Amino acid sequence: MTMEKPTPTTQNITLTITHPEKERYELCEISCGAGTTLDELKAQICAKTGLQARILVMAKRYEADGDLDEAQRAALRAQAYVNWVPAEPGDTLGSVGYRNGDQCAFTYLGPAEEDLRPEFRAAEDVSVSSDSSDEDEA
């Protein structure tokens, strides 16, 4: 018995695109229809961010059994690098179950900082010098 893909809706879905190497660094958001293929989304991500399409691999979802509540979905997004299922040709946002506000699932097989447009490169960590006026005195 073959499993059928869910019927995609015509609604718009806005996905969060995060830095491939710094998962907590949000690059941008991309909005498109539920019928948009993951290949089309990949092209939009690459056009906007400068990442290279040939080494960006789209994922259809994070592997999990059963229905997830919002807390479980958030936990899964936080572990985005674990248990992802590669997309197949023709997969659409709606058919793989993306919802408005989800983090886009992909992996990048190269050094992202070199490929990202300057405005999307993560800022270097800034060391905070101690300032006695900001410290609580005992």
User: Would you list the domain boundaries of the chain?
Assistant: 12-110
What is the reported pLDDT for 109? 93
| Residue 76 CA neighbour count, 13 Å, CB half | 19
Band (pLDDT 50/70/90 cuts) for residue 17 is very high
What is the reported pLDDT for 7? 47
pTM for the full model?
A: 0.69
> Of the ranges 7-16, 45-54, 57-66, which one carries the lowest mean pLDDT score?
57-66
Pick the CATH number of 12-110 from 3.10.20.90, 3.55.40.20, 3.90.550.10, 3.20.20.80: 3.10.20.90
Q: With pLDDT > 90 as the criterion, what percentage of the chain qualifies? A: 41
What is the reported pLDDT for 58? 93
E strand or H helix at 57, and its extent?
Answer: strand 56-62
Block residue for tokens 């300032």: 131
- Chain segment 72-92, per-residue pLDDT in tens: 666 665 555 456 778 889 999
Asked if residue 128 has pLDDT above 80, the reply is no
- Classified as helix, coil or strand, 78 is helix
- Dihedral, CA of residue 64, residue 112, residue 108 and residue 53, to nearest 10: 130
Band (pLDDT 50/70/90 cuts) for residue 34 is very high
Find all residues with CB under 8 Å of 137, minimum gap 6, and list them: none
Instruction: Tell me the average pLDDT of the chain.
Output: 78
- Classified as helix, coil or strand, 61 is strand
